[in-house]
Amino acid sequence: MRQIKILADERSAEALSDMLMDAGALSATIEDADAESTDEKPLYGEPGLEPDNCAWPRSIVSILADDDFDLETSLAIAVKALKCEKPELLGTEEVEDADWVRITQAQFQPTQVSDRLWIVPTWHDLPNEDAINVRLDPGVAFGTGSHPTTHLCLQWLDANVKATDRVLDYGCGTGILAIAAKLVGAAEVAGTDIDPQAVEAAGDNALMNHVEAKFYLPDDMPEGTYDIVVANILANPLKLLAPALLGRVKQGGALVLSGVLAKQAEEVIAAYQAIDPAVKLSVWRQEEDWVCIAGRRA
């Protein structure tokens, strides 16, 4: 089995991956070739903030294929059909056949976030039955609780959520932040994501943890503000989403932002201060190269 990576432009990436799958590739994924760089382009479907083109300018298309997969012929057919330039081949490497489900599960271990809070995948026993345990099955959604940015958000919620708080998890993925907020005492929690599968996975995870939580696609989000708005995305999308996020924070409410590298913190804070100086933001905590930014609306 081989993993093959090619560089495609915004017009052809999705169509190329579909045609290579039709030609016999076993799987195909698309990722931003400029992720975590100054050229990174956020994609988010918040009403009023839709991107003009729902594709990255440069994408890495990664496919898994059997050793006898004819890449040259398949690419030639796709390029001719799409009338596009032949994509650049970035590399090919051999991949051993394996039980990918078991390997993925082995990489996702129980994680202790704070003295009382654990994130535990559904296929593991509870390391501490007396702790607050968030049971999680990522499925196809983003967010396993293992990344420093998620740790930072969870730690902030654990330290700051009050029994009267209404919490919004913006870009909820698996729903991990909303579910944890409810388990540490929030009165009401909700989440939103552009991915319908993420919204479904978040709802399933909430049911598994026996918590009441509501998850929405952006167009279905009800109006209203929250005591706490938390968003664990990336720096550029956070800057783009500043008006939408600030619009969800009530007077006296808190805004918590993560997915931000330490070197990006000042520019993210400046983007929010420019829109609403009443929301006083600062770096709350750093883990590895990542920071959590938090503050309240005066």
Question: Is residue 253 part of an annotated ligand binding site?
Answer: no
Instruction: Assess contact for 25 and 64: CB atoms under 8 A.
Output: yes
Question: Is residue 104 part of an annotated ligand binding site?
Answer: no
Question: What is the spatial distance between Cα 136 and Cα 142, in angstroms, rounded to a whole number?
Answer: 11
Count Cβ neighbours within 10 Å for each residue of 191-220 and write b for 16 or more, e otherwise.
bbbbbeebbbbbbbbbeebebebbbbebee
For residue 238, give both structure tokens. Answer: 């956070």
Question: What is the spatial distance between Cα 15 and Cα 236, in angstroms, rounded to a whole number?
Answer: 26
Terminal Cα-to-Cα distance of the chain (whole angstroms): 57
Nearest to 292 by CA among 227, 230, 226, 247: 230
Question: What is the spatial distance between Cα 111 and Cα 73, in angstroms, rounded to a whole number?
Answer: 46
Pairing status of strand 58-65 against strand 2-9: antiparallel
Torsion sign, CA atoms 45, 281, 226, 292: positive
CA atoms within 13 A on the CB side of 73: 7
- For the annotated binding site, the residues are 150, 171, 193, 232
- For the annotated binding site for S-adenosyl-L-methionine, the residues are 150, 171, 193, 232
